[in-house]
Chains A and B, each alone.
Chain A
Amino acid sequence: MSSAMYERMRANPKFQELVTRRGRYAWTLAFIVLSMFYGFVMVVAFNPVALGQPVSEGSMWTVGVVVELFMFVFFWVLTALYVRRANSEFDALTQEIVKEAWKENK
């Protein structure tokens, strides 16, 4: 019974739409996080001196501290963006798909 439901959902063009849209969004965000983070790790590994430089003459704020602080904030903003879109747009689409599969079932 539930296998038949899954079959119907898979056949629904909206399912493909959900998978493509959500997948693209999630992977784009994940790519941003991964490339920024591992880019940073590479700098730590291969050019640590660059991170210790002050952002301006006489300032104690170093490039490394500023970059990290930015990443803490930015990554969290990305999670907020994803949660907002997933909990509204993607969830609505999901509910439609399930509802339509039930309807066909009857």
Chain B
Amino acid sequence: MRRLTQFSTALGLFAIAAMAYAGPPVEGAMEKQATNWHAIIMFCIFVALTMGITYWASSRTKSTADFYTAGGGITGFQNGMAIAGDYMSAATLLGLTAMVYTQGYDGYIYMLAFFAGWPIILFLMAERLRNLGQFTFSDITAYRLDQGKVRTMAAISSLTVVCFYLIAQMVGAGQLIKLLFGLEYNVAIFAVGILMMVYVTFGGMVATTWVQIIKAGMLLCGGTLVMVLAFSHFGFSFQTLLEQATAVHKLGPKLMYPGSLLADPVTAISLGLGLMFGTAGLPHILMRFFTVTDAKAARKSVLVASGLVAYFFNVIFIMGLCGIIIVGQNPDFFEAGQVGGKLIGGGNMVAMHLSSAVGGNMLLGFLAAVAFATILAVVSGLALAGASAISHDLYARVIKKGQATEAAEIRVSRIATICLGFVAIFLGILFEKQNIAFMVGLAFGVAAAANFPVLILSMYWRGLTTRGALFGGYGGLVSAVLFVLFSKSVWVDVLGNPAALFPYTQPALFAMPIAFLLAYIFSKTDTSVRAGKEIEAFEDQYVRAQTGFGAAGASKH
């Protein structure tokens, strides 16, 4: 019966995909493009393939462990690919290429900051995460603390991060499909939201992981191909490329200097902190550490993931620089043929135009399909992380106090996924005009301030008590969100107020110390009996963190 519903849903989705090219033209839209059949065919192949996987995965998704963590049976290499896939979102491909295109070297600094968190995660967190956690990172923060209160806190901050990140992905999806299919933005957003719901509700983590792996492979191949073709225009000489790029770019020689994005020291440091420790606080990335058999595989997955991420960031850097000359000097890519004016499809479309310039419609089609697949995959990962915060943390552990049956828990997570799908659609429509790489930066800032401090303290500091964790977690969350709300990007640009209340755009430098400080003060002053027991319980947790003895799933596989 379930398979039947599933099939009919899948059919419905094909109908939506079909609408994508048969749909009505957008009224007077300048961005409307000639229908790109290559892109549509390749995208349909991707959707068909991933639907097939979802169908196969649904038959293997029976227990909660299957649903949340693919039964812990993903290998280190596969998981590394999936982590890289989760991490290299459409915002990375589109947003960072665009950032290099407009800001030059600043984009490269951004990328190093995105990357530098990985070694730290490996050295200080990966094995402890795997050894202590089961399904969500709240398993670790709540390990020896008050389950109900700490999990509620962790779930709320997870959901906040997931929502911020979803905005970036959905906006990217809408713009991309609008450009490619001439579809209305809102319709595109709905298509992404609904496809995601199908992957996650039916296939759980098994399907989400495989969608992610396939997409990571496609992204790496597609990106590399575009980079090689574009770079060949300059004889593969970085010297020639930069000479030409600085000659034509409006920043001139300043292109290769740290510039306006990092104009003041506070922003630069805050961004560095936010991106580095934000990575270590993203719920959908942390969740991936529970899909592997043991700490050994967890480490290997970080090695694979960080290698792929580092490689791909350098590919993007070269793509962005090539774009300055190949896209930036070609009137075909500008509205009304005005070089230096507005790019067709918006600022984030540099990578797409570049692929079309160097490889024609075929390559554009492929890269567009990849970008769309990327969005789908990342959105699915996010939705799964959000849904597990709701079902595993809030429903099963807080509301039902661990008494929920597995079937009920899975059912709740499916319902949660569908709700999150609609939230994503709503937010995507609301934030249509925002720069997407920037939105990702905000998600990282909140993750760094709300999730990371309590998580790292719970693993390393025996003195952490429930009271400290709650004050630290909520303090970090509230301050990060308020800093973002009062900054120029929301207070002025979205809400239309005349001046920002908080002068910086990046919250991490201010919100992270608040979280750590509150956690410290309120743990230290906590003299309750329970606090004493919690501190005592650190000893056993510590041995398990170090040895992995008693870790979830370790014996079954």
- Chain A interface residues (CB < 8 Å from chain B): 2-3, 5-6, 9-10, 15, 18-19, 22, 26-27, 29-30, 33-34, 37-38, 40-42, 44-46, 48-49, 51-52, 59-62, 64-65, 68-69, 71-73, 75-76, 78-80, 82-83, 86-87, 91, 94, 97-98, 101
Contact = CB atoms under 8 A, between A and B. Distances in A.
Contacts of B276: 37
B546 A19 contact: yes
B60 interface: no
B533 interface: no
18 contacts: A2-B549, A9-B549, A30-B124, A37-B116, A41-B269, A41-B272, A42-B269, A51-B105, A64-B256, A68-B109, A72-B112, A72-B115, A75-B118, A80-B303, A82-B122, A86-B299, A87-B299, A91-B295
B258 A64 contact: yes
Of the four ranges (under 10, 10 to 19, 20 to 34, 35 or more), the interface on chain B belongs to 35 or more
SS of B interface (majority)? helix
Nearest first, the 4 A-B pairs at minimum CB distance are A45-B265, A52-B257, A60-B242, A48-B258
Given A79-B118, A79-B122, 8 more contacts: A6-B549, A10-B543, A27-B124, A33-B116, A44-B109, A60-B238, A83-B122, A94-B546
Contacts of B112: 37, 40, 68, 71-72
Nearest to A32: B119
A40 B272 CA distance: 10
Contacts of A10: 539, 543
Contacts of B264: 45
Nearest to A88: B296
Contacts of A34: 120
Contacts of B133: none
Interface string B134-168: 00000000000000000000000000000000000
Contacts of B239: 59-61
Contacts of B229: none
B307 interface: yes
Contacts of B544: 6
Nearest to B264: A45
Q: Which of B123, B241, B296, B549 has the most CB of A within 10 A?
A: B123
Nearest to B105: A64
B310 interface: yes
Contacts of A76: 119, 306-307, 310
Given A64-B105, A72-B313, A83-B303, A51 B119 contact: no
